[in-house]
A and B are shown apart, each in its own frame.
Chain A
């Protein structure tokens, strides 16, 4: 049994220790907002927060996060930054297919939690690991600025 805290709840997982956090979240806890895209930390679709910092859950074994606090997109609106980011995403209709957007949002929330007034360069730097094949990048940039404005 591996114990961790997911979205504020204590959970015990009966999975092999090498199971990536991604599959534990999705297949065991059925928190399916976190997506599988590449399995090698190349696309960012699986981004979640580990004690507030963004990590790629597809290459993070559950054994490495035992006892830690995990936040997924399902609970990101419990903080005001998360709420502002989701609202900005909706206001600007950022999404297209939507599959990468949970990861995009988790990375954007992590950025704005650290930096309340990011420049375009800051955004490109923080979001460069999150791929979007629909290329919603123009609106991702705009929505991060929009959320920053709302948080100011």
Chain B
């Protein structure tokens, strides 16, 4: 995408710090010198409206207390469903001692100086389940600083000692004299307080919001139709753009005929852009009709034309030869040479679409002052720099309004800024026209979204395990074949070492089990022209399946209970073990399951660490004679450190389970380069009747919080596969599952 050196360095630096495992936290908390900082109000639906009362108390970039007694927490992270706004507000409100009912949340503008993701160095963005973990210390300090300044203000006003002042539920009081004031009443005075150099944080035993039940801040707006998504943005004079995209990845426009399109009522303009042909109209339906009436001749000479079956066949060939070594401990060759028994299995994983309910969209307006964007913004800094480069603007003249995203699952954090740049290209193509400053809302219809690439990559895994003369698991070889997400992206130089893309092998190269001889190697085909991207849980979305399903096959070969074998091999990994034990105990592992006549039932278990959180699932399934099956119940044990909002942790794991269960049935397939699925009839995501009962149990923890948006996903599919094997004796090696293999 981006050859701008400064930008690449920027992103590379950010990724390096991310990799270094949170070193960014040492950057520390920097309180801007006080002086009512001007914060553009850019929260959902606010679209850059100016602020009211000038006496607002803004002790730092994350907090604003109004004279109306409102406490506004500024979220630097996107709310795309994971409860991020609520979680971040909980952290700050805890140390501020605010009343939860007075707290509201507003999205931060793109400003990496103040709002960078501390795990990503100087870059702002949301992903990798980092929102809570990177903000934890920062927002606690921001809240505590605000509280200290309110206390100082009250002490001055009442001529009493700060030490005698109490703050509780949004009320500052001096019990000895009976004086009381709300935050709002103290806001103007607090604005005069010096910013404390150091603040004291609460002892966790005094938490009254964290670990309790803070209700979501977005529930009301998302149940009465007022929540604003990008799709809901309307600006004066705005045009809606629907684009004719190439039918094959890598095809280009050769020529087009827009005469019929221009005859469609409501159509205003048709422009060619590098991504295709854009039809602009006064409304969405007219734009769609205009696009349907368009005739485009495509140049397919450089397009990618293989089918997914052919891709997989190539991968299987590649798997016959060694790849680049990603991890090596001990001497696998020796372990296999001396093995009493060798277990082998291979697994296939398809391309997967993110398929968020809100198809991709973006609103952009270009004016003399720069460029303004309305977007469910997930990668602020990357998109800001990409737009700045395209328009030839300094990045600070690209203003981004972060709206709610109707799901993302990684898709809106596009390493190439794909759909954002597409919207920008349309605006750019119209720049010289009479109404060239008209804001443009790019709308991808469902089919554009589903056929638009950036899929979870297709992978083939081959595994083998050596069991020695003593019946011990002595060797493990894991070979992976699949496209790299990061090679060729601005993140390559930092996340790809010696040709190994770290996210291709995550979950496999850091296998937690105590196996003395381990080899993980990787083939990364570079001639597959299907764009790929991170998809909720990234590499773990396939490595958890192959490692955890294979370990069950090994346990069967060793005649061991799958849980017992795991616990035996996890002696050095107590957090994995604790999650496993909790899930197993709550699920009644080892107790018999009753099956109706003609049905087979089974229970399976899997555990996986991703994004520093540990999740174990026990799944119960019923398999019918024809091979069709239902997942009846999933019981989870979860360790994500301090659970800031336990109900939200449960909600994310419930949703993660459903998201992962979808993957048992869904696939993006290509035939001669053409994506075969275009809508939810072909790409079948989970429906309510397929959702099992779910019980989520949280491991009590005083550790700093880690992520929960993604970690619930990886161990679901292997737990189900293991349950199916327990019920039927049949091991499934290919996703989506082919239930015909399970017929009695």
Contact sample, A vs B, 14 pairs, CB 8 Å cutoff: A16-B289, A23-B285, A42-B679, A43-B680, A73-B225, A74-B225, A86-B224, A97-B406, A97-B407, A98-B223, A134-B659, A136-B654, A137-B691, A138-B694
Kindly list the 5 A-B residue pairs having the minimum CB-CB distance in the complex, ordered from nearest: A33-B225, A135-B658, A99-B406, A98-B222, A97-B81
Closest to A132 in B: B357
**Does B657 contact A133, Cβ atoms closer than 8 Å?**
no
CB contacts (< 8 Å) of A16 on chain B: these are 265-266, 285-286, 289
With A134-B655, A137-B691, A138-B694: A95-B357 Cβ-Cβ less than 8 Å: no
In the assembled complex, B216 has its CB within 8 A of some CB on chain A: yes
Q: Which residue of B lies closest to A32 (CB)?
A: B232
Contact between B284 and A30, CB atoms less than 8 A apart: no
Q: Which residues of B contact A141 (CB under 8 A)?
A: 688, 691
A37-B357, A124-B689, A136-B655 given; A131·B680 CB < 8 A: yes
A146 CB within 8 Å of chain B? no
Residues of A within 8 A of B487 (CB): none
User: Is B468 close to A, CB under 8 A?
Assistant: no
Would you call B647 an interface residue if the criterion is a C-beta within 8 Å of the partner chain's C-beta atoms? yes
Interface residues of A in 47-74 (CB under 8 A from B): 72-74
Q: Contact partner of A96 among B83, B265, B283, CB < 8 A?
A: B83
Interface string of B189-227 (1 = CB under 8 A from A): 000000000000000000000000001101111111111
Q: Are A133 and B409 in contact (CB under 8 A)?
A: yes
| Chain B residues whose C-beta falls within 8 Å of the C-beta of A74 in the assembled complex | 224-226
| Given A23-B284, A39-B445, A43-B680, A100:B357 Cβ within 8 A | yes
Q: Which residues of B contact A96 (CB under 8 A)?
A: 81-83, 407, 651-652, 655
Question: Is B662 in contact with A135, judged by CB distance below 8 angstroms?
Answer: yes
Nearest residue in A to B82 (C-beta to C-beta)?
Answer: A96
Residue of B with least CB distance to A74: B225
Chain B stretch 641-659: residues in CB contact (< 8 A) with chain A: 647-648, 651-652, 654-659
| Cβ A140 vs Cβ B688 within 8 A | yes
Counting contact residues on chain B (CB < 8 A from A), the size range is 35 or more
Q: Does A35 contact B (CB under 8 A)?
A: yes
Roughly how many angstroms separate A34 CA and B231 CA in the complex, as a whole number?
11
Given contacts A32-B225, A90-B220, A131-B357, 14 further A-B contacts (CB under 8 A): A33-B226, A35-B357, A37-B358, A89-B223, A90-B219, A98-B81, A105-B223, A128-B689, A131-B680, A133-B355, A134-B357, A134-B407, A136-B658, A138-B691
Contact across chains for B406 and A35 when beta carbons are under 8 A apart? yes
* CB proximity of A14 to chain B, nearest CB, Å: 10
State the majority secondary structure of interface residues on A: loop
Residues in A whose Cβ lies below 8 Å from that of B686: 135, 137
A102→B227 CA distance, assembly (Å): 10
Q: Contact: B231 with A36, CB < 8 Å?
A: yes
User: Do B658 and A98 have beta carbons less than 8 Å apart?
Assistant: no
CB nearest neighbor in B for A143: B223
B216 touches which of A95, A124, A134 (Cβ 8 Å): A95
Min Cβ gap A42→B in Å is 4
CB-based contact B225/A102 at 8 Å: yes
Q: Which residue of B lies closest to A97 (CB)?
A: B81
Closest to A129 in B: B687
Question: Is the CB of A26 closer than 8 A to any CB of chain B?
Answer: yes
In the bound complex, residues from chain B placing their C-beta under 8 Å from that of A136 are 651, 654-655, 658
Q: Is the CB of B688 within 8 A of A128?
A: yes
Give A28 to B654 CA distance when docked, in angstroms. Answer: 37
Q: Is the CB of A93 within 8 A of B648?
A: yes
Residues of chain B within 8 A of A31, CB atoms compared: 225
Indicate if the CB atoms of A97 and B404 lie closer than 8 Å. Answer: yes
Please give me the residue from chain A that is nearest to B689 by CB atom: A124
Instruction: Indicate whether A98 sits within 8 Å of B404 (C-beta atoms), given known contacts A35-B357, A135-B657.
Output: yes
How big is chain A's contact interface, by range? Answer: 35 or more
| Across-interface contacts of B658 in A (CB, < 8 A) | 132, 134-138
Chain B nearest CB, measured from A92 CB (Å): 9
Contact residues, A85-116 vs B (CB, 8 A): 86, 89-90, 93-102, 105
Q: Are B681 and A42 in contact (CB under 8 A)?
A: yes
Smallest Cβ distance from A39 to chain B, in angstroms?
Answer: 6
Closest to B286 in A: A16
A127 in the interface (beta carbon within 8 A)? yes
- Is B81 touching A33 in the complex (CB atoms < 8 A)? no
Which residues on B sit within 8 Å (CB–CB) of A35?
229, 231, 357-358, 406
A38 near B225 with CB under 8 A, answer: no
B359 at the binding interface (Cβ < 8 Å): yes
B80 within 8 A of A: yes
What 1/0 mask marks residues of chain A from 5 to 36 whose CB sits below 8 Å from any chain B CB? 00000000001100110010011101111111
Residues A90 and B225 in contact, CB atoms below 8 Å apart: no
A93 adjacent to B681 (CB under 8 Å): no
Q: How far is the CA of A124 from the CA of B276 in the complex (A)?
A: 41
- How many Å lie between the Cα of A9 and that of B652 in the bound state? 39
Of A34, A127, A133, A138, the most chain B CB neighbours within 10 A belong to: A133
Chain B 672-687 near chain A by CB (<8 Å), digits 1 or 0: 0000000111000111
CA distance A145 to B292 in the complex (A): 44
Interface status of A119 (Cβ within 8 A of chain B): no
B29 at the interface (CB under 8 A from A): no
A40-B681, A99-B407 known; A93+B81 contact, CB < 8 A: no
Contact A139 B651 (CB under 8 A): yes
The answer to whether B662 touches A28, judged by C-beta atoms less than 8 angstroms apart, is no
A124 to B657, CA, bound (A): 18
B356 at the interface (CB under 8 A from A): yes
Please give the distance in Å from B659's CB to the nearest CB on chain A.
Answer: 5
